Amino acid sequence: MHNAGWHSSVSRPHSYSDASTAVAGGVQPPNTPSPTSQSHHPAPIPPTITLSMESTSREDFTILAKEVVSQIGQVLRGLQTEREKLRQALESESNLLASHNTTAIIAALRNSLNQALQQNAELRGRLARIHADSDLSEISVPPSMSELVRSLMFYVCMLMYEYVFRKSIV
């Protein structure tokens, strides 16, 4: 804020005419009316006191503002650090859950497949025994009855297959 002819650190000797026009910097701007041309004169404040109080206030404000900016920066950095830690923890947890779920799913699928293969082998064995037990080729049937026997034999095989299949499901 240094303008030509204006110096904030300049203080003028105390006089009543200067006291009424004391401004920032302690010097009267060139285009302002002189104190004698004004009709009303407020209580005079010594310019050196005004300048020192104003300077001290500005310095205090500047120091305080710098401290606030510094503290806000620290809080912001802390928040960014915590956000990054949280993001990493969530990623780690989701990766762990995903790998755990995948492993559990694979194990469950393998178990189900083994059970299905075992059940399939048992059903094939039962079906083979039923087929062997239902072989009626050794029975002599009159030729007119052979068609009836074949139909009956097919029907019995179907019933036995359904019986075995239903029993294995339950």
Q: Provide the domain count of the chain.
A: 1
Chain segment 77-115, per-residue pLDDT in tens? 999 999 999 999 988 888 877 777 788 888 889 999 999
Report which of 48, 51, 46 is spatially closest to residue 17, judged by C-alpha positions. Answer: 46
Domain limits at 161?
A: 134-170
Domain membership flag for residue 84: no
- Give the integer Cα–Cα distance in Å for 16 and 71: 45
Domain membership flag for residue 154: yes
Q: Judge whether residue 9 has pLDDT over 70.
A: no
Domain membership flag for residue 2: no
- Give the integer Cα–Cα distance in Å for 16 and 146: 144
Report which of 65, 67, 45 is spatially closest to residue 57, judged by C-alpha positions. Answer: 65
CB 5 within 8 A of CB 32: no
Chain segment 108-153, per-residue pLDDT in tens? 899 999 999 999 999 999 998 888 887 766 666 555 667 777 788 8
Distances (CA, A) of 66 to 1, 78, 89: 19, 18, 34
Domain membership flag for residue 163: yes
In which region does residue 25 sit, left (phi positive, over 0), alpha (psi from -120 to 50) or beta (all else)?
A: left
Domain membership flag for residue 142: yes
- Give the integer Cα–Cα distance in Å for 76 and 98: 32
pTM of the model: 0.32
Domain membership flag for residue 102: no
Domain membership flag for residue 159: yes
Q: 10 Å Cβ neighbour count for 52?
A: 13
Domain membership flag for residue 148: yes
